[in-house]
């Protein structure tokens, strides 16, 4: 199996646990050049809001694959979540290590009002 399949298989257990909690989840995807975040409702079917380094507002501010960009995406997703009425989420790091860009995004989202 390649790395991506193994990572996704490990992350499936976490998603099952989050589904038991019945709370919205903040799902993060990290590629080499960009970072993406979306909040999915408790039923697991609807994306409430999303943010990424490919949005027009963020595209010109910083380079897509840096921790500074991840902080801006975390801030942006927290603001959009407040507007959508979501305050409590479960953090789904999608099998990525809680380090670097993933950690920067999570910390920025916490600082701007998301609770997880």
What dotted CATH number matches 3-111? 3.30.420.100
Gap between the Cα atoms of 56 and 71, Å rounded: 16
Angle 101-111/67-84 helices, nearest 10 degrees? Answer: 40
pLDDT at residue number 43? 86
Instruction: Report pTM.
Output: 0.89
User: In this structure, are strands 24-30 and 35-40 parallel, antiparallel, or unpaired?
Assistant: antiparallel
Strand runs labelled E in 14-81: 24-30, 35-40, 47-52
Gap between the Cα atoms of 6 and 8, Å rounded: 5
- 49-95 confidence digits (pLDDT tens): 999 999 998 888 888 789 999 999 999 999 999 999 999 999 999 98
pLDDT at residue number 62? 86
Q: How far is CA 107 from the centre of its chain?
A: 11
């Amino acid at each position: 199996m390649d790395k991506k399949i193994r990572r996704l298989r490990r992350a499936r257990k976490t998603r099952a646990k989050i589904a038991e909690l019945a709370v919205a989840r903040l799902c993060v995807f990290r590629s080499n050049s960009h970072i993406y975040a979306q909040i999915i409702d408790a039923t697991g079917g609807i994306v409430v809001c999303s943010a990424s380094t490919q949005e027009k507002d963020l595209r010109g501010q910083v380079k897509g694959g840096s921790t500074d960009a991840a902080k801006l995406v975390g801030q942006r997703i927290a603001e959009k979540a407040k507007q959508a009425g979501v305050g409590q989420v479960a953090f789904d790091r999608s099998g990525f290590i809680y380090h670097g860009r993933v950690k920067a995004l999570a910390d920025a989202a916490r600082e701007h009002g998301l609770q997880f």
